[in-house]
Chains A and B, each alone.
Chain A
């Protein structure tokens, strides 16, 4: 960048004797829809193309949420040049985005953790019902064993019915325990989330680069000129 500036100064020195002729500079800025710039520390403008006298000109380019970028450009007479600039996001905006993301995650957690608890309760309830049903079936099978007077039936109860019910009871118990643990974990996480997010406020973005950009702007009009400064009152909350 320093080399480029020196080169431009050299060009300027060789063309000073040529008089006040003008050249055109097109500003190709990212973001392209809402950037502004201050020309030569005086003129605040918002346009994509400027016609300037030949020579070195200073630009302070800024866009909302971006940093103010200062650069020098040498305008060559009767020529159209391009100034290509990509404005990086400001540190404050990056911090704000992170804080906002964390805040939104916390808000979402406050919504879906009760859903998780509800799912856990439903799971536990269904498992409990199944567990009781299978337990009753097992009790009935044992009662049938004691009351039967048919060796064939007794054999089937011992070889098939009770082992099947045993397996079903184990599955139901596993599901019940897992559902209960899931529910308790969900409740714990919900409580933790509520406590952690209870004092959380929505982050606000204070564009310090805007303040810096607007703080020293000289705005010309038909009646003369004035210094402009800006301040922001957050009315969101």
Chain B
């Protein structure tokens, strides 16, 4: 009886050491977390520069196709995408969307900050860059 009590109390003491407090600074794996520090959620697949003429003047449009890494998100997650603090103009189709830059200059590198958003809040963000070339 007495030895059982000792074992019980000692066992409880050991079990008491089993659970640890959570350091919130280590929670950075959810892309909807503004402090997300994992693999970039947005990656550029390809980019192109399209030349067109308007009123006899040649212009260039730079387009960047960006893929959203939905595999990094919780399953069934809903999201919006902001580019340079504005909602994207084109919808995300099959995890992809395109950023279009009118009046591009050849040889110029264009960078865009893309951010995940939902429910009025913003999550992970990263920058994609590409140089306009023909």
Contact = CB atoms under 8 A, between A and B. Distances in A.
A123 B16 CA distance: 14
Nearest to B21: A166
A149 interface: yes
A177 interface: yes
Contacts of B6: 184, 187
A198 B5 CA distance: 20
Interface string A171-192: 0010011011101100100110
Interface stretch (B60-68, B83-91, B120-128): B120-128
A63 interface: no
B9 interface: yes
Interface stretch (A104-112, A140-148, A213-221, A229-237): A140-148
Interface in A115-157: 117, 120-121, 124, 128, 131, 135, 138, 141-142, 145-155
Interface residues of A, number: 40
B19 A183 contact: no
A173 B79 CA distance: 39
B117 interface: yes
Contacts of B34: 151, 154-155
B134 interface: no
Contact of A149 (B2, B13, B27, B77): B77
A163 interface: yes
A184 B79 CA distance: 55
A158 B27 contact: yes
A121 to B, nearest CB: 7
B73 interface: yes
B12 A176 contact: yes
B30 interface: yes
A212 interface: no
B109 interface: no
A138 B22 contact: yes
Contacts of A142: 22, 27
A181 B74 CA distance: 43
Given A150-B121, A162-B24, A180-B9, A169 B19 contact: yes
A79 interface: no
A180 B30 contact: no
B65 to A, nearest CB: 24
Contacts, number: 106
B12 A150 contact: no
B71 interface: no
B56 interface: no
Contacts of A166: 21-22
Contacts of B29: 146
B30 to A, nearest CB: 6
B19 A131 contact: yes
A124 B33 contact: no
A137 to B, nearest CB: 11
A143 B74 CA distance: 11
B54 interface: no
Given A124-B9, A131-B16, A151 B22 contact: no
Contacts of B24: 158-159, 162-163
Given A135-B19, A158-B27, A180-B10, A117 B5 contact: yes
Interface of A: 117, 120-121, 124, 128, 131, 135, 138, 141-142, 145-155, 158-159, 162-163, 165-166, 169-170, 173, 176-177, 179-181, 183-184, 187, 190-191
